[in-house]
Structure 1
Amino acid sequence: MMTPFSALDWRAMSRQDRDLGLNNGAAVAGSAELVAGWEQRSAEMRQRYPDHIDLGYGPRERNRMDFLKAGEGAPTLLFIHGGYWQARAKEVFTVVAEGPMAHGINVALIGYTLAPDATLDEIVAEIHAGIDFLAKQLPALGAGADGIVVSGWSAGGHLTSMALSHPFVRAGMAISGIYDLEPIRHSYLNDKLGLDEAMSRRNSPMAEAGGPIKPLSLVVGSAELPLLRRQTADFAGHRARYGLPVTYEEIPGADHFTIMNEMMSPKGRITTLIRQLLERTAG
Protein backbone atom coordinates (compact mmCIF):
# COMPACT_ATOMS: atom_id res chain seq x y z
CA MET A 1 0.00 0.00 0.00
CA MET A 2 1.33 3.44 -0.95
CA THR A 3 2.26 5.76 1.91
CA PRO A 4 -0.02 8.83 1.92
CA PHE A 5 1.73 12.18 1.49
CA SER A 6 0.44 13.32 4.87
CA ALA A 7 2.55 10.62 6.53
CA LEU A 8 5.74 11.67 4.73
CA ASP A 9 7.75 13.89 7.05
CA TRP A 10 11.41 14.11 6.13
CA ARG A 11 12.16 15.67 9.52
CA ALA A 12 11.05 12.47 11.27
CA MET A 13 13.30 10.29 9.11
CA SER A 14 16.76 9.09 10.03
CA ARG A 15 19.58 10.58 7.97
CA GLN A 16 20.00 7.21 6.23
CA ASP A 17 16.33 6.99 5.28
CA ARG A 18 16.29 10.59 4.14
CA ASP A 19 19.36 10.03 1.96
CA LEU A 20 17.79 6.94 0.39
CA GLY A 21 14.52 8.82 -0.06
CA LEU A 22 16.30 11.33 -2.28
CA ASN A 23 18.66 8.99 -4.16
CA ASN A 24 17.13 8.44 -7.59
CA GLY A 25 20.07 6.51 -8.98
CA ALA A 26 19.84 3.92 -6.21
CA ALA A 27 16.07 3.73 -6.55
CA VAL A 28 15.96 2.96 -10.29
CA ALA A 29 17.76 -0.18 -11.47
CA GLY A 30 19.57 0.37 -14.75
CA SER A 31 19.41 4.17 -14.54
CA ALA A 32 23.10 4.57 -15.43
CA GLU A 33 22.63 2.55 -18.61
CA LEU A 34 19.52 4.54 -19.47
CA VAL A 35 21.37 7.85 -19.11
CA ALA A 36 24.28 6.49 -21.19
CA GLY A 37 21.74 5.77 -23.92
CA TRP A 38 20.50 9.36 -23.73
CA GLU A 39 24.06 10.61 -24.09
CA GLN A 40 24.69 8.52 -27.19
CA ARG A 41 21.46 9.62 -28.86
CA SER A 42 22.23 13.23 -27.88
CA ALA A 43 25.65 13.10 -29.53
CA GLU A 44 24.04 11.87 -32.74
CA MET A 45 21.46 14.64 -32.58
CA ARG A 46 24.07 17.37 -32.12
CA GLN A 47 25.79 16.09 -35.26
CA ARG A 48 22.52 16.68 -37.12
CA TYR A 49 22.23 20.24 -35.76
CA PRO A 50 25.83 21.53 -35.54
CA ASP A 51 25.30 25.19 -36.42
CA HIS A 52 24.73 26.71 -32.97
CA ILE A 53 26.54 24.52 -30.44
CA ASP A 54 28.36 25.81 -27.34
CA LEU A 55 27.34 29.44 -27.62
CA GLY A 56 29.04 31.27 -24.76
CA TYR A 57 26.75 33.26 -22.48
CA GLY A 58 29.18 33.90 -19.62
CA PRO A 59 32.83 33.67 -18.53
CA ARG A 60 32.89 30.22 -16.93
CA GLU A 61 33.59 26.94 -18.68
CA ARG A 62 30.03 25.61 -18.43
CA ASN A 63 28.41 28.91 -19.39
CA ARG A 64 27.50 27.47 -22.78
CA MET A 65 24.26 26.96 -24.62
CA ASP A 66 23.22 24.80 -27.59
CA PHE A 67 20.48 25.99 -29.94
CA LEU A 68 18.67 23.53 -32.21
CA LYS A 69 16.60 25.28 -34.84
CA ALA A 70 13.30 23.74 -35.88
CA GLY A 71 12.13 26.51 -38.17
CA GLU A 72 12.34 30.16 -39.13
CA GLY A 73 10.42 32.35 -36.71
CA ALA A 74 9.58 29.35 -34.50
CA PRO A 75 9.02 29.61 -30.74
CA THR A 76 11.79 28.46 -28.41
CA LEU A 77 11.97 26.15 -25.42
CA LEU A 78 14.94 26.38 -23.06
CA PHE A 79 15.83 23.11 -21.29
CA ILE A 80 17.76 22.96 -18.00
CA HIS A 81 19.43 19.66 -17.13
CA GLY A 82 19.31 17.86 -13.80
CA GLY A 83 21.85 16.12 -11.60
CA TYR A 84 21.10 17.62 -8.17
CA TRP A 85 23.00 20.80 -9.18
CA GLN A 86 26.28 18.86 -8.95
CA ALA A 87 26.37 16.37 -11.83
CA ARG A 88 25.56 15.80 -15.51
CA ALA A 89 25.75 18.24 -18.42
CA LYS A 90 23.64 19.67 -21.22
CA GLU A 91 25.29 17.27 -23.67
CA VAL A 92 23.48 14.33 -22.07
CA PHE A 93 20.05 15.79 -22.80
CA THR A 94 20.02 16.96 -26.43
CA VAL A 95 17.73 14.01 -27.16
CA VAL A 96 14.88 15.67 -25.25
CA ALA A 97 14.61 18.11 -28.14
CA GLU A 98 13.18 15.40 -30.40
CA GLY A 99 9.61 15.72 -29.11
CA PRO A 100 9.25 19.51 -29.24
CA MET A 101 11.18 19.88 -32.52
CA ALA A 102 8.77 17.50 -34.23
CA HIS A 103 6.16 20.21 -33.65
CA GLY A 104 8.26 23.09 -34.97
CA ILE A 105 9.62 24.25 -31.60
CA ASN A 106 13.26 25.37 -31.36
CA VAL A 107 15.11 23.92 -28.37
CA ALA A 108 18.00 25.53 -26.49
CA LEU A 109 19.90 23.60 -23.81
CA ILE A 110 21.82 25.50 -21.15
CA GLY A 111 24.87 24.42 -19.18
CA TYR A 112 25.79 25.87 -15.80
CA THR A 113 28.58 25.63 -13.24
CA LEU A 114 28.11 22.72 -10.86
CA ALA A 115 28.48 22.63 -7.08
CA PRO A 116 30.84 22.85 -5.27
CA ASP A 117 32.41 25.15 -7.88
CA ALA A 118 29.31 27.34 -7.69
CA THR A 119 26.80 28.05 -4.94
CA LEU A 120 23.11 27.64 -5.63
CA ASP A 121 22.78 31.43 -5.65
CA GLU A 122 25.40 31.53 -8.41
CA ILE A 123 23.77 28.71 -10.38
CA VAL A 124 20.41 30.49 -10.35
CA ALA A 125 22.14 33.70 -11.46
CA GLU A 126 23.82 31.84 -14.33
CA ILE A 127 20.45 30.58 -15.58
CA HIS A 128 19.13 34.14 -15.57
CA ALA A 129 22.25 35.34 -17.41
CA GLY A 130 21.74 32.60 -19.98
CA ILE A 131 18.16 33.74 -20.56
CA ASP A 132 19.40 37.34 -20.99
CA PHE A 133 21.79 36.06 -23.65
CA LEU A 134 19.18 33.95 -25.40
CA ALA A 135 16.71 36.84 -25.50
CA LYS A 136 19.28 38.97 -27.35
CA GLN A 137 20.34 36.17 -29.72
CA LEU A 138 16.96 34.86 -30.88
CA PRO A 139 16.45 37.43 -33.67
CA ALA A 140 19.88 36.67 -35.15
CA LEU A 141 19.14 32.95 -34.88
CA GLY A 142 15.95 33.44 -36.88
CA ALA A 143 13.68 32.48 -33.98
CA GLY A 144 10.55 34.11 -32.65
CA ALA A 145 11.56 36.82 -30.18
CA ASP A 146 8.41 37.09 -28.06
CA GLY A 147 9.62 35.18 -25.02
CA ILE A 148 10.42 31.56 -24.23
CA VAL A 149 9.06 28.63 -22.28
CA VAL A 150 11.55 27.14 -19.82
CA SER A 151 11.63 23.46 -18.90
CA GLY A 152 13.87 21.32 -16.73
CA TRP A 153 14.18 17.92 -15.12
CA SER A 154 15.03 17.14 -11.48
CA ALA A 155 17.34 19.96 -10.31
CA GLY A 156 16.43 21.55 -13.63
CA GLY A 157 12.82 21.51 -12.48
CA HIS A 158 13.86 23.61 -9.50
CA LEU A 159 15.83 25.97 -11.76
CA THR A 160 12.81 26.23 -14.05
CA SER A 161 10.71 27.47 -11.15
CA MET A 162 13.46 29.97 -10.26
CA ALA A 163 13.60 31.17 -13.89
CA LEU A 164 9.89 32.03 -14.02
CA SER A 165 10.64 35.47 -12.58
CA HIS A 166 12.74 36.41 -15.61
CA PRO A 167 10.78 38.91 -17.76
CA PHE A 168 11.55 37.02 -21.00
CA VAL A 169 10.05 33.77 -19.69
CA ARG A 170 6.43 33.16 -20.69
CA ALA A 171 5.77 29.91 -18.82
CA GLY A 172 7.44 26.90 -17.22
CA MET A 173 7.35 23.10 -17.58
CA ALA A 174 8.98 21.57 -14.48
CA ILE A 175 9.63 17.81 -14.43
CA SER A 176 10.25 15.88 -11.19
CA GLY A 177 11.68 18.93 -9.47
CA ILE A 178 12.69 20.08 -5.99
CA TYR A 179 10.87 23.10 -4.63
CA ASP A 180 11.69 22.97 -0.90
CA LEU A 181 15.45 22.76 -0.35
CA GLU A 182 15.36 22.04 3.37
CA PRO A 183 15.31 18.22 2.93
CA ILE A 184 18.28 18.64 0.57
CA ARG A 185 20.14 20.72 3.14
CA HIS A 186 19.74 17.90 5.67
CA SER A 187 20.95 15.14 3.33
CA TYR A 188 24.09 13.79 1.68
CA LEU A 189 23.45 16.15 -1.23
CA ASN A 190 24.51 19.13 0.87
CA ASP A 191 28.10 17.90 1.11
CA LYS A 192 28.75 19.61 -2.24
CA LEU A 193 25.94 22.17 -2.25
CA GLY A 194 26.91 23.75 1.06
CA LEU A 195 23.47 25.24 1.69
CA ASP A 196 22.89 27.16 4.88
CA GLU A 197 19.36 27.94 6.06
CA ALA A 198 19.27 31.39 4.47
CA MET A 199 20.42 30.18 1.05
CA SER A 200 18.02 27.28 1.23
CA ARG A 201 15.06 29.53 1.96
CA ARG A 202 15.77 32.17 -0.69
CA ASN A 203 16.10 29.47 -3.32
CA SER A 204 13.01 27.50 -2.26
CA PRO A 205 9.88 28.46 -4.22
CA MET A 206 7.85 26.80 -1.46
CA ALA A 207 9.19 29.37 1.01
CA GLU A 208 8.00 32.29 -1.10
CA ALA A 209 4.76 34.06 -0.30
CA GLY A 210 3.31 33.82 -3.78
CA GLY A 211 5.38 33.66 -6.95
CA PRO A 212 5.45 34.75 -10.58
CA ILE A 213 2.00 35.01 -12.18
CA LYS A 214 2.91 32.85 -15.17
CA PRO A 215 1.61 29.41 -16.15
CA LEU A 216 3.59 26.52 -14.67
CA SER A 217 2.99 22.87 -15.51
CA LEU A 218 4.28 20.40 -12.92
CA VAL A 219 4.73 16.70 -13.65
CA VAL A 220 6.21 13.78 -11.71
CA GLY A 221 6.16 10.02 -12.24
CA SER A 222 3.78 7.90 -10.19
CA ALA A 223 6.65 5.43 -9.60
CA GLU A 224 9.07 8.06 -8.31
CA LEU A 225 10.39 8.26 -4.77
CA PRO A 226 7.61 9.40 -2.40
CA LEU A 227 9.56 12.40 -1.11
CA LEU A 228 9.95 13.68 -4.66
CA ARG A 229 6.33 13.07 -5.55
CA ARG A 230 5.38 15.06 -2.49
CA GLN A 231 7.66 17.94 -3.53
CA THR A 232 5.71 18.34 -6.77
CA ALA A 233 2.28 17.87 -5.18
CA ASP A 234 3.05 20.33 -2.39
CA PHE A 235 4.34 22.95 -4.80
CA ALA A 236 1.24 22.62 -6.95
CA GLY A 237 -0.84 23.18 -3.84
CA HIS A 238 1.32 26.15 -2.85
CA ARG A 239 0.78 27.89 -6.18
CA ALA A 240 -2.94 27.12 -6.13
CA ARG A 241 -3.27 28.66 -2.65
CA TYR A 242 -1.80 31.90 -3.97
CA GLY A 243 -3.99 31.89 -7.07
CA LEU A 244 -1.06 31.31 -9.43
CA PRO A 245 -1.65 29.41 -12.70
CA VAL A 246 -0.56 25.80 -12.27
CA THR A 247 -1.32 22.31 -13.52
CA TYR A 248 -0.22 19.10 -11.79
CA GLU A 249 0.02 15.59 -13.20
CA GLU A 250 1.53 12.28 -12.25
CA ILE A 251 2.67 10.29 -15.28
CA PRO A 252 1.35 6.75 -14.68
CA GLY A 253 4.08 4.17 -14.15
CA ALA A 254 6.96 6.57 -14.84
CA ASP A 255 10.04 6.66 -12.62
CA HIS A 256 12.53 9.51 -12.31
CA PHE A 257 14.22 8.52 -15.57
CA THR A 258 11.55 6.98 -17.79
CA ILE A 259 9.43 10.11 -17.35
CA MET A 260 11.73 11.78 -19.88
CA ASN A 261 10.30 9.52 -22.59
CA GLU A 262 7.27 11.81 -22.40
CA MET A 263 9.42 14.68 -23.72
CA MET A 264 11.55 12.73 -26.18
CA SER A 265 8.45 11.47 -27.96
CA PRO A 266 6.51 13.80 -30.29
CA LYS A 267 3.34 12.24 -28.83
CA GLY A 268 4.55 12.31 -25.21
CA ARG A 269 2.52 13.97 -22.50
CA ILE A 270 5.26 16.47 -21.62
CA THR A 271 5.65 17.44 -25.27
CA THR A 272 1.89 18.05 -25.39
CA LEU A 273 2.01 20.20 -22.25
CA ILE A 274 4.86 22.27 -23.71
CA ARG A 275 2.83 22.86 -26.87
CA GLN A 276 -0.15 23.92 -24.77
CA LEU A 277 1.97 26.38 -22.77
CA LEU A 278 3.28 27.98 -25.95
CA GLU A 279 -0.21 28.25 -27.42
CA ARG A 280 -1.62 29.62 -24.19
CA THR A 281 1.02 32.36 -23.91
CA ALA A 282 1.30 33.30 -27.59
CA GLY A 283 1.38 37.04 -28.09
Structure 2
Amino acid sequence: MDSYRGMNREELDRAYNNTAAVPDVAETMADFGRRGAAIYERAGIKRDLAYGEAASQRIDWIPSSRAGAPTIAYVHGGYWQSLSKEKFAHVAAGPLAHGFNVALIEYTLAPQARMGAIVSEIGQAIDFLVAHFEEWGADPACLCLAGHSAGGHLAAMHRNHPAVSLVLCMSGLYDLEPIRLSYLNEKLNLTPSEVAAYSPQTYIGPGAPTLLTVGDSELPELMRQTADYSSLLRARGELVEEILAPGRNHFTITEMLAMPDGAALNAVVRAFS
Protein backbone atom coordinates (compact mmCIF):
# COMPACT_ATOMS: atom_id res chain seq x y z
CA MET A 1 0.00 0.00 0.00
CA ASP A 2 1.26 3.49 -0.87
CA SER A 3 2.12 5.81 1.99
CA TYR A 4 2.93 9.49 2.20
CA ARG A 5 5.35 10.97 4.73
CA GLY A 6 4.87 7.87 6.87
CA MET A 7 1.05 8.04 6.80
CA ASN A 8 -1.07 5.14 5.61
CA ARG A 9 -4.41 5.64 3.84
CA GLU A 10 -6.46 5.96 7.03
CA GLU A 11 -4.06 8.48 8.54
CA LEU A 12 -3.87 10.43 5.30
CA ASP A 13 -7.65 10.59 5.05
CA ARG A 14 -7.79 12.17 8.51
CA ALA A 15 -4.94 14.52 7.68
CA TYR A 16 -6.93 16.11 4.86
CA ASN A 17 -10.47 15.91 6.20
CA ASN A 18 -11.07 19.57 6.99
CA THR A 19 -14.79 19.19 7.61
CA ALA A 20 -14.26 16.56 10.30
CA ALA A 21 -11.65 18.78 11.95
CA VAL A 22 -14.02 21.75 12.40
CA PRO A 23 -17.00 20.87 14.68
CA ASP A 24 -19.06 23.98 13.87
CA VAL A 25 -18.51 23.95 10.10
CA ALA A 26 -22.27 23.82 9.38
CA GLU A 27 -22.89 26.97 11.38
CA THR A 28 -19.93 28.70 9.77
CA MET A 29 -21.11 27.88 6.26
CA ALA A 30 -24.65 29.02 7.11
CA ASP A 31 -23.23 32.35 8.25
CA PHE A 32 -21.26 32.63 5.02
CA GLY A 33 -24.46 31.97 3.11
CA ARG A 34 -26.37 34.75 4.86
CA ARG A 35 -23.57 37.22 4.28
CA GLY A 36 -23.17 36.12 0.68
CA ALA A 37 -26.87 36.66 0.03
CA ALA A 38 -26.45 40.27 1.14
CA ILE A 39 -23.66 40.72 -1.40
CA TYR A 40 -25.99 39.66 -4.20
CA GLU A 41 -28.43 42.40 -3.25
CA ARG A 42 -25.98 45.06 -4.39
CA ALA A 43 -26.78 47.09 -7.50
CA GLY A 44 -24.89 46.59 -10.73
CA ILE A 45 -23.89 42.95 -10.29
CA LYS A 46 -23.47 40.88 -13.44
CA ARG A 47 -24.29 37.28 -12.57
CA ASP A 48 -23.36 34.04 -14.30
CA LEU A 49 -21.40 35.59 -17.14
CA ALA A 50 -20.28 32.77 -19.42
CA TYR A 51 -16.54 32.52 -20.04
CA GLY A 52 -16.99 29.19 -21.81
CA GLU A 53 -19.66 26.85 -23.10
CA ALA A 54 -19.86 24.46 -20.12
CA ALA A 55 -22.64 25.01 -17.59
CA SER A 56 -20.26 25.82 -14.73
CA GLN A 57 -17.99 28.15 -16.67
CA ARG A 58 -19.50 31.25 -15.10
CA ILE A 59 -18.36 34.43 -13.35
CA ASP A 60 -20.20 36.86 -11.07
CA TRP A 61 -18.88 40.41 -11.52
CA ILE A 62 -19.40 42.74 -8.55
CA PRO A 63 -18.26 46.23 -9.53
CA SER A 64 -16.60 48.85 -7.42
CA SER A 65 -18.28 52.21 -6.95
CA ARG A 66 -15.30 53.92 -8.57
CA ALA A 67 -13.79 53.79 -12.05
CA GLY A 68 -10.31 52.43 -12.62
CA ALA A 69 -10.46 50.17 -9.57
CA PRO A 70 -8.27 47.11 -9.01
CA THR A 71 -9.87 43.67 -9.13
CA ILE A 72 -9.78 40.61 -6.92
CA ALA A 73 -10.79 37.45 -8.78
CA TYR A 74 -11.71 34.73 -6.29
CA VAL A 75 -11.66 30.96 -6.84
CA HIS A 76 -13.63 28.90 -4.30
CA GLY A 77 -12.53 25.72 -2.56
CA GLY A 78 -14.18 22.34 -2.08
CA TYR A 79 -11.34 19.98 -3.03
CA TRP A 80 -12.18 20.52 -6.73
CA GLN A 81 -15.35 18.43 -6.30
CA SER A 82 -17.89 20.40 -4.27
CA LEU A 83 -19.22 23.86 -3.30
CA SER A 84 -19.71 26.87 -5.57
CA LYS A 85 -18.97 30.56 -6.00
CA GLU A 86 -22.22 31.43 -4.25
CA LYS A 87 -21.12 29.56 -1.11
CA PHE A 88 -18.21 31.98 -0.68
CA ALA A 89 -19.67 35.25 -1.95
CA HIS A 90 -19.17 36.68 1.55
CA VAL A 91 -15.48 37.20 0.72
CA ALA A 92 -16.46 40.10 -1.56
CA ALA A 93 -17.43 42.36 1.36
CA GLY A 94 -13.87 43.21 2.38
CA PRO A 95 -12.54 44.09 -1.09
CA LEU A 96 -15.68 46.09 -1.91
CA ALA A 97 -15.17 48.15 1.24
CA HIS A 98 -11.74 49.10 -0.10
CA GLY A 99 -13.08 50.05 -3.53
CA PHE A 100 -12.10 46.88 -5.39
CA ASN A 101 -14.04 45.11 -8.10
CA VAL A 102 -14.68 41.45 -7.26
CA ALA A 103 -15.05 38.53 -9.66
CA LEU A 104 -16.30 35.21 -8.29
CA ILE A 105 -15.18 32.36 -10.54
CA GLU A 106 -17.05 29.08 -10.94
CA TYR A 107 -15.58 26.00 -12.64
CA THR A 108 -16.53 22.44 -13.53
CA LEU A 109 -16.19 20.03 -10.62
CA ALA A 110 -14.76 16.53 -10.57
CA PRO A 111 -15.58 13.91 -11.66
CA GLN A 112 -17.21 15.79 -14.56
CA ALA A 113 -13.82 17.38 -15.30
CA ARG A 114 -10.28 16.13 -14.78
CA MET A 115 -7.68 18.30 -13.07
CA GLY A 116 -6.11 19.55 -16.28
CA ALA A 117 -9.47 20.78 -17.56
CA ILE A 118 -10.24 22.52 -14.26
CA VAL A 119 -6.89 24.30 -14.30
CA SER A 120 -7.49 25.38 -17.91
CA GLU A 121 -10.91 26.77 -17.03
CA ILE A 122 -9.37 29.21 -14.56
CA GLY A 123 -7.08 30.44 -17.31
CA GLN A 124 -10.11 30.92 -19.55
CA ALA A 125 -11.84 32.88 -16.80
CA ILE A 126 -8.85 35.20 -16.40
CA ASP A 127 -8.74 35.79 -20.16
CA PHE A 128 -12.46 36.59 -20.13
CA LEU A 129 -12.02 39.14 -17.37
CA VAL A 130 -9.11 40.83 -19.09
CA ALA A 131 -11.11 41.10 -22.30
CA HIS A 132 -13.84 43.00 -20.43
CA PHE A 133 -11.79 45.20 -18.10
CA GLU A 134 -11.92 48.23 -20.38
CA GLU A 135 -15.69 47.88 -20.84
CA TRP A 136 -16.21 47.55 -17.09
CA GLY A 137 -13.82 50.34 -16.14
CA ALA A 138 -11.37 48.11 -14.26
CA ASP A 139 -7.63 48.75 -14.02
CA PRO A 140 -6.01 46.11 -16.27
CA ALA A 141 -2.72 46.40 -14.40
CA CYS A 142 -4.16 45.50 -10.99
CA LEU A 143 -5.56 41.97 -10.90
CA CYS A 144 -5.18 39.86 -7.77
CA LEU A 145 -6.03 36.20 -8.30
CA ALA A 146 -7.14 34.81 -4.95
CA GLY A 147 -8.29 31.38 -3.89
CA HIS A 148 -9.05 29.24 -0.87
CA SER A 149 -8.11 25.55 -0.43
CA ALA A 150 -8.53 23.99 -3.90
CA GLY A 151 -9.00 27.56 -5.11
CA GLY A 152 -5.60 28.39 -3.62
CA HIS A 153 -4.13 25.59 -5.70
CA LEU A 154 -5.83 26.92 -8.83
CA ALA A 155 -4.64 30.46 -8.12
CA ALA A 156 -1.07 29.25 -7.64
CA MET A 157 -1.22 27.41 -10.96
CA HIS A 158 -1.72 30.77 -12.70
CA ARG A 159 1.02 32.84 -11.05
CA ASN A 160 2.63 33.21 -14.45
CA HIS A 161 -0.45 34.44 -16.31
CA PRO A 162 0.58 37.78 -17.85
CA ALA A 163 -2.53 39.55 -16.58
CA VAL A 164 -2.11 38.43 -12.95
CA SER A 165 -0.21 41.03 -10.92
CA LEU A 166 -0.65 39.44 -7.47
CA VAL A 167 -1.69 36.03 -6.11
CA LEU A 168 -3.32 35.33 -2.74
CA CYS A 169 -3.55 31.70 -1.65
CA MET A 170 -5.43 30.84 1.53
CA SER A 171 -4.89 27.31 2.87
CA GLY A 172 -3.90 26.11 -0.58
CA LEU A 173 -2.78 22.70 -1.81
CA TYR A 174 0.56 22.79 -3.60
CA ASP A 175 1.50 19.10 -3.67
CA LEU A 176 -1.21 16.82 -5.07
CA GLU A 177 0.45 13.52 -4.19
CA PRO A 178 -1.27 13.17 -0.78
CA ILE A 179 -4.54 14.05 -2.49
CA ARG A 180 -4.01 11.20 -4.96
CA LEU A 181 -3.36 8.76 -2.13
CA SER A 182 -6.37 9.78 0.00
CA TYR A 183 -10.14 9.44 -0.10
CA LEU A 184 -10.28 12.65 -2.12
CA ASN A 185 -9.09 10.80 -5.20
CA GLU A 186 -12.28 8.76 -5.45
CA LYS A 187 -13.75 11.57 -7.58
CA LEU A 188 -10.59 13.25 -8.81
CA ASN A 189 -8.97 10.08 -10.20
CA LEU A 190 -5.57 11.76 -10.25
CA THR A 191 -2.76 9.85 -11.91
CA PRO A 192 0.94 10.19 -11.02
CA SER A 193 1.51 12.13 -14.23
CA GLU A 194 -1.31 14.54 -13.35
CA VAL A 195 0.16 15.03 -9.89
CA ALA A 196 3.45 16.01 -11.49
CA ALA A 197 1.81 18.28 -14.05
CA TYR A 198 -0.60 20.11 -11.73
CA SER A 199 1.25 20.46 -8.43
CA PRO A 200 2.23 24.14 -8.12
CA GLN A 201 5.39 23.25 -6.24
CA THR A 202 6.62 21.31 -9.28
CA TYR A 203 6.64 24.31 -11.60
CA ILE A 204 7.97 27.42 -9.92
CA GLY A 205 9.05 29.87 -12.56
CA PRO A 206 8.86 33.65 -12.76
CA GLY A 207 5.41 34.79 -11.68
CA ALA A 208 3.40 37.31 -9.74
CA PRO A 209 4.29 38.17 -6.15
CA THR A 210 2.49 35.69 -3.92
CA LEU A 211 0.75 36.06 -0.58
CA LEU A 212 0.27 32.87 1.44
CA THR A 213 -1.79 32.36 4.57
CA VAL A 214 -3.01 29.36 6.55
CA GLY A 215 -4.79 29.25 9.90
CA ASP A 216 -2.87 28.20 12.97
CA SER A 217 -5.93 26.10 13.96
CA GLU A 218 -5.80 24.06 10.76
CA LEU A 219 -4.71 20.49 10.18
CA PRO A 220 -0.92 20.09 10.29
CA GLU A 221 -0.72 18.94 6.68
CA LEU A 222 -2.34 22.15 5.44
CA MET A 223 0.14 24.21 7.45
CA ARG A 224 3.04 22.13 6.16
CA GLN A 225 1.97 22.47 2.55
CA THR A 226 1.95 26.27 2.86
CA ALA A 227 5.31 26.37 4.63
CA ASP A 228 6.93 24.09 2.05
CA TYR A 229 5.55 26.04 -0.90
CA SER A 230 6.71 29.32 0.62
CA SER A 231 10.21 27.93 1.05
CA LEU A 232 10.31 26.71 -2.54
CA LEU A 233 9.19 30.08 -3.88
CA ARG A 234 11.87 31.85 -1.88
CA ALA A 235 14.51 29.39 -3.04
CA ARG A 236 13.65 30.29 -6.64
CA GLY A 237 13.92 34.00 -5.91
CA GLU A 238 10.20 34.67 -6.16
CA LEU A 239 8.53 37.36 -4.08
CA VAL A 240 6.44 35.71 -1.35
CA GLU A 241 4.93 36.90 1.91
CA GLU A 242 3.46 34.65 4.59
CA ILE A 243 0.57 36.21 6.52
CA LEU A 244 -0.15 34.95 10.02
CA ALA A 245 -3.72 33.84 10.76
CA PRO A 246 -4.03 33.29 14.51
CA GLY A 247 -7.12 31.39 15.62
CA ARG A 248 -8.32 30.69 12.08
CA ASN A 249 -9.42 27.24 10.91
CA HIS A 250 -9.78 25.98 7.37
CA PHE A 251 -13.06 27.82 6.84
CA THR A 252 -12.68 30.97 8.92
CA ILE A 253 -9.38 31.65 7.13
CA THR A 254 -11.56 33.26 4.45
CA GLU A 255 -12.30 36.06 6.92
CA MET A 256 -8.76 37.23 6.24
CA LEU A 257 -10.14 38.49 2.94
CA ALA A 258 -13.82 38.95 3.75
CA MET A 259 -13.34 41.40 6.62
CA PRO A 260 -12.38 44.99 5.73
CA ASP A 261 -9.55 44.81 8.27
CA GLY A 262 -8.48 41.28 7.33
CA ALA A 263 -4.73 40.84 7.28
CA ALA A 264 -4.68 39.17 3.85
CA LEU A 265 -6.87 41.89 2.35
CA ASN A 266 -4.68 44.58 3.88
CA ALA A 267 -1.65 42.98 2.24
CA VAL A 268 -3.43 43.13 -1.12
CA VAL A 269 -4.37 46.78 -0.56
CA ARG A 270 -0.74 47.62 0.27
CA ALA A 271 0.48 45.86 -2.86
CA PHE A 272 -1.77 48.00 -5.05
CA SER A 273 -1.14 51.29 -3.23
Band of TM-score, shorter chain: over 0.9
* TM-score of the superposed pair, with normalisation by structure 1: 0.92
Residue 48 of structure 1 is matched in structure 2 by: 42
The yes-or-no answer on 1:36 pairing with 2:30 is yes
Letter in 1 for 2:219: L
Indicate if the aligned counterparts of 1:224 and 1:254 stay in contact, CA closer than 8 A: yes
1:150-229 equivalence runs, <5 A = 150-208=145-203, 210-229=204-223
For residues 243 and 49 of structure 1, the distance between their equivalents in structure 2, rounded to whole angstroms, comes to 43
Deviations 1:133-169 (A, max 9, x none): 0000111112122241100000000001011121111
Structure 2 regions of 5+ residues with no counterpart?
none
**Alignment CA distance shift 1:186-1:49 (3 Å):** farther
Structure 1: tracts of 5 or more residues without a match: 1-8
Instruction: Give per-residue Cα distances to partners, 1:56-82, cap 9 Å, x unaligned.
Output: 100011111011111211111100000
Work out the CA distance in 2 between the residues paired with 1:214 and 1:145. Answer: 14
Q: Kindly state the Cα deviation for residue 100 of structure 1 after the two structures are TM-superposed.
A: 1.0
Please point out which of 222, 231, 235 is paired with 1:237.
231
Shift of 1:114: 0.2
**CA distances 1:198-250 after superposition (whole Å, capped 9, x unpaired):** 11111011122x32332001000011000000000000000011111111133
What residue is the counterpart of 1:260 in the other structure? 254
Q: Could you tell me how far apart the structure 2 residues matched to 1:199 and 1:46 are?
A: 36
Name the SS of the counterpart of 2:147 in structure 1: strand
Shift in Å at residue 171 of structure 1?
1.2
For 1:152 and 1:32, locate their aligned partners in 2 and report how far apart those are by CA, in whole Å. Answer: 21
Compute the RMSD of aligned alpha carbons: 1.3
Q: Which residue of structure 2 aligns with residue 5 of structure 1?
A: none
Q: Distance in 2 between matches of 1:11 and 1:94?
A: 36
Instruction: State yes or no: 1:125 paired with 2:108.
Output: no
Residue 44 of structure 1: CA displacement?
2.0
Worse-matched range after superposition: 157-166 or 225-234: 157-166
- Structure 2: distance between partners of 1:88 and 1:215: 28
Question: Which residue in 1 is equivalent to 2:56?
Answer: 62
Structure-1 separation of matches of 2:43 and 2:77: 22
Compute the displacement of 1:50 (Å): 4.9
AA of the residue aligned to 1:63: Q
2-structure distance, mates of 1:275, 1:211: 25
Alignment pair present for 1:74 and 2:69: yes
Q: Find the aligned partners of 1:213 and 1:141 in 2 and give their Cα distance.
A: 26
How many Å apart are 1:49 and its aligned residue? 3.7
2:242 aligns to what SS in structure 1? strand
Give the equivalent residue in structure 1 for 2:103. Answer: 108
Counterpart secondary structure, 1:252: coil
Residue 99 in 1 paired to residue 117 in 2? Answer: no
Residue 4 of structure 1: aligned partner: none
- Amino acid across the alignment from 2:196: R
Give yes or no for the alignment of 1:87 onto 2:82.
yes
Farther-moved stretch of structure 1 (221-230 vs 93-102): 93-102
Quickly say closer, same or farther: Cα 1:29–1:50, change in 2 above 3 A: farther
In the alignment, the residues of structure 1 paired with residue 271 and residue 10 of structure 2 have an alpha-carbon distance, to the nearest angstrom, of 39
User: Which residue of structure 2 aligns with residue 6 of structure 1?
Assistant: none
Question: Which residue identity is paired with 1:212?
Answer: P
Aligned residue type for 2:34: Q
Aligned partner of 1:20 in structure 2 is: 14
Instruction: State the identity %.
Output: 43
1:39/1:92 contact within 8 Å kept: yes
**Do the aligned residues in 2 keep the contact of 1:176 with 1:228 (CA within 8 Å)?**
yes
